[in-house]
Structure 1
């Protein structure tokens, strides 16, 4: 089975790993509801680390760049249900329910939902679909389940209104601080611009002022310099770091590394 499995395209996902720790970089574009069924999930961002244990339910705010570490339980199982609360659906709910957000959300983007029978029952009703992906869930039924989840979230924590229904564009943030914290994520320049609250043209203009370089060139050089540091000073293997530094393949990493430093990454490994 592909992991994670899409139960409803782009909306409901089921992740099931057995006795295998896995670390991935991810961009969480939408508000996302997670149930930790088994094992442990570590979500690390520039702002800190959040850990989900068995039974935890968490709402993660949109536009988060994170490193996800999936850790199986002592019995060797890892299992999560992930429900993506797409903005189009949330806009529809806001219109139908006449929901208005008067104050911006200022809390943590990682909200642990207090245990309650309603949310537990909700996820129990989703489990049959995710554990039997061959039994295709109809899109209309799937979206009803998502709407139900939003309703129960607001019942449990009415204050989540301002997180779920904030449709404003990201405000303009400190570009230098953001890029130095997130350069290793494999995202197009257009996405970095969006996340810093800028148009692409404004992002390139501000980037040039801050770093005196074009974004793509700076990103490549920053990642390669960090790679060399990790290999030479931290004894990291090239195969263990290229994905974490935003390179899509080991061969591409090796070619660009050699072009910049005149030798392949493996030649930088300190002799024992």
Structure 2
């Protein structure tokens, strides 16, 4: 059986749609393509490629079907599992300093053989039962650490994010649709300290500033870059096109379609 014949499978919890990555996970793409963005870089994962998506990062990713097909394998490496693994195995740290949210792996026969070995354990919903999931996750982690020992610095760092430059971080990440609590955590602050520092820097509440900043960018993209409203609202952190049109008109006195000549649907 070819590696691209693997069907979708998940080991661990259900993948959250939130743009905050709460736990590390390994993803292998069997069919289709995935596009990822972490606020700094754009990433592309093609069929036959795999990567680690790092926790405590903001990231967006979307799938592209080829011939109406998209198949992936996702294996979560949550903190509880990693702590148990660390107790069982000797871990050597390598001072790995990459800040990328998506760490791509070179193609390797060990990874391919592991992925093929998962097939007998699938159930009807495309998951692997708890009975075998930890065993298979341990096997994968041993393979990854053999091929990429520098991953130990990422996977076994159980600390919380340190205090960051708030203004720089928000200007870089305002497009991500996550809660204020998540922004506070990622900048190394309590919620109250985040709100206090934010008010001092921006002279606005976080929610109001985020809305205005996203709308300013939307207007720029529509007027100057001639982009369609329907193509940009999700990337700017708006969940609903109707709400996007409503707040845009409230802010600027005109709708995105009136500026661009485009219709909502």
User: Quick one: distance in 1 between partners of 2:180 and 2:197?
Assistant: 13
Does the 8 Å contact 2:95/2:150 carry over to 1?
no
Change (3 A) 1:61 1:134: closer
Change (3 A) 1:59 1:190: same
Normalized against structure 1, the TM-score is what?
Answer: 0.81
User: Quick one: distance in 2 between partners of 1:263 and 1:230?
Assistant: 15
Please tell me whether residue 52 in structure 1 is matched to residue 55 in structure 2.
Answer: no
Change (3 A) 1:6 1:213: farther
User: Quick one: distance in 2 between partners of 1:128 and 1:108?
Assistant: 36
- State the match for 1:27 in structure 2: 20
- State the match for 1:118 in structure 2: 110
1:45 deviates by 2.3
Any idea what the Cα deviations from partners look like across 1:221-266, whole Å, max 9, x if unmatched?
1111112222222233322222221112122212222222223332
Change (3 A) 1:158 1:86: same
Does the 8 Å contact 2:11/2:76 carry over to 1?
no
1:111 deviates by 2.8
- State the match for 2:71 in structure 1: 79
1:116 deviates by 2.8
Please tell me whether residue 215 in structure 1 is matched to residue 206 in structure 2.
Answer: yes
User: Quick one: distance in 2 between partners of 1:177 and 1:143?
Assistant: 39
Task: Summarize the alignment of residues 186-197 of structure 1 with structure 2, pairs less than 5 Å apart.
Answer: 186-197=177-188
Please tell me whether residue 185 in structure 1 is matched to residue 188 in structure 2.
Answer: no
Q: 2:227 pairs with 236, 245, 256, which one?
A: 236
Change (3 A) 1:125 1:12: farther
User: Quick one: distance in 2 between partners of 1:112 and 1:42?
Assistant: 13
Task: Summarize the alignment of residues 107-146 of structure 1 with structure 2, pairs less than 5 Å apart.
Answer: 107-109=98-100, 110-127=102-119, 133-134=124-125, 137-146=128-137
Which of the pair is proportionally richer in strand?
Answer: 1
Please tell me whether residue 10 in structure 1 is matched to residue 13 in structure 2.
Answer: yes
User: Quick one: distance in 1 between partners of 2:240 and 2:35?
Assistant: 24
- 3-state SS, counterpart of residue 59 of structure 2: strand
Any idea what the Cα deviations from partners look like across 1:1-33, whole Å, max 9, x if unmatched?
xxxx774551679xxxxxxxxxx9833222121
Change (3 A) 1:11 1:123: farther
Please tell me whether residue 249 in structure 1 is matched to residue 237 in structure 2.
Answer: no
- 3-state SS, counterpart of residue 163 of structure 2: coil
Any idea what the Cα deviations from partners look like across 1:190-237, whole Å, max 9, x if unmatched?
001111111111211221222111101100111111122222222333
Does the 8 Å contact 2:22/2:55 carry over to 1?
yes
- State the match for 2:32 in structure 1: 39
Any idea what the Cα deviations from partners look like across 1:89-127, whole Å, max 9, x if unmatched?
1122122335475x7541243333333322111111224
